[in-house]
Amino acid sequence: MVKSKYLKVKCECGNEQNVFGNSATVVKCIMCDKVLAEPTGSRAKVYGKILKVL
């Protein structure tokens, strides 16, 4: 059993946002609209800097 986690991710623009670790959709930054995470089938591929696992 894989436990799903939320991740606090920091974008290039400085915005910090919570992202679901197993996201099924593309997650974009709410400030600059850059892609922060993309689904891969299991774990999301995160493009921002992971600051904290929640």
* 3 state DSSP class of 39: coil
**How does pLDDT run across 3-50, given as a tens digit for each residue?**
779 999 999 999 999 999 999 999 999 999 999 999 998 899 999 999
Query: How many CB atoms lie under 10 A from the CB of residue 21?
Result: 18
Distance CA 9, CA 38 (A): 13
pLDDT at residue number 1: 52
- Residue ranges of domains in the chain: 6-53
pTM, to two decimals = 0.83
Write down the architecture of domain 6-53 according to CATH.
Answer: Single Sheet (2.20)
User: Looking at the predicted structure, is the pLDDT value of residue 52 above 90?
Assistant: yes
